[in-house]
Structure 1
Amino acid sequence: MVKFILGAKGAGKTRWLIEGANKEIESGNGNIAFVDVDDEHIFTLKHEVRLINAKDYGVETLPELYGFLSGMLAMDFDLEKIYVDSVYKIIPIKSENLSSVYNELEIISKRSECDIYINVDFSLDEVPEEMKENAIEVK
């Protein structure tokens, strides 16, 4: 399963992801990863959640992100959920290519049976109609 977390800048998307990761680590049986573009949230995430700075690994394009996430999943078969925060700061993601981003991530997600949550700076109105069922808007 892939879900886009939507909302304007400052709406609370990052907080939603952090709370989700922290809650899941308490109730889940698998591992949880939080991919970000800095280490700012190291003290807000529970220590069992693996914080990974994508910039440390040279992730700068969508294909690199797909490869990076695939590598994480290939290495850790117990990875249950991946929360991806703020990659739009280093990778340009446009509303018109959300469907292709979703399709690529869904392949990765299904293959490894891992849920992926990724935040983007769009409102629900800016998302293509076919993507709305795969989106959660934070206001």
Structure 2
Amino acid sequence: MIKLIVGPKGAGKTKTMIDMINDATQTTSGNIVVIEKSMKLTTSINHKARLLDVDEYRIQGGDMLYGFVAGVLAGNYDITELFIDGILRIVDHDMDVATAVLDKIDAITRDSVEVVITVSSTEEALPEGIKKYLNA
């Protein structure tokens, strides 16, 4: 299941995500993975969450992001929560690519992994393919 945290830059999306991650480290019985660009969350999140930097693995674009997520999930069946901070930065702000990636991630995670993703945009600017994840 995918949940989105949507808002313009500076709206507090990352802070909301940090709180969700830290809460999850106290309550989950599985593993938590956080994917971000540029490792800015290192000191903000509980060390129980695994932090992965897409820049370190040279991930660029939607296909590479999906492959990376699929590989992480395939390598660890105990992941119960996956957080992706700033999907649009990773896919070069291409909404169509972001939509395709969300659909692919949703197909492989469904009800087995809770996925939370931040999107820097207003709700009105989102295409329908992304909006469908707002009320999940």
Q: Fold-level match, TM-score > 0.5?
A: yes
The TM-score by the shorter chain falls in which range? 0.7 to 0.9
Name 1:35's counterpart in structure 2: 35
What is the identity, as a one-letter code, of the residue corresponding to 1:120? V
What is the identity, as a one-letter code, of the residue corresponding to 2:133? N
Bigger proportion of residues as helix: 1
Q: 1:77 to 1:131 in 2, by over 3 A?
A: same
Give me the whole-angstrom Cα distance separating, in 2, the residues matched to 1:121 and 1:9: 6
Q: 1:36 to 1:99 in 2, by over 3 A?
A: closer
Q: 1:131 to 1:40 in 2, by over 3 A?
A: closer
Q: 1:106 to 1:21 in 2, by over 3 A?
A: same
What is the identity, as a one-letter code, of the residue corresponding to 1:5? I
1:105 aligns with 2:105: yes
1:114 aligns with 2:107: no
- CA-atom RMSD in angstroms: 1.9
| Equivalent residues of 1:2, 1:106 under 8 A apart | yes
Aligned length: 135
Unaligned segments of structure 2, at least 5 residues:
none
SS at match of 1:57: coil
Q: Percent identity?
A: 27
Give me the whole-angstrom Cα distance separating, in 2, the residues matched to 1:118 and 1:106: 12
SS at match of 2:56: helix
Q: What TM-score, normalized by structure 2, do the two folds share?
A: 0.88
Unaligned segments of structure 1, at least 5 residues:
none
User: Which structure 1 residue ranges, 4+ long, deviate > 4 Å from structure 2?
Assistant: none
| Equivalent residues of 2:25, 2:32 under 8 A apart | yes
Name 2:133's counterpart in structure 1: 134
Shift of 1:128: 3.0
SS at match of 1:135: coil
Give me the whole-angstrom Cα distance separating, in 2, the residues matched to 1:5 and 1:60: 22
Give me the whole-angstrom Cα distance separating, in 2, the residues matched to 1:98 and 1:90: 9
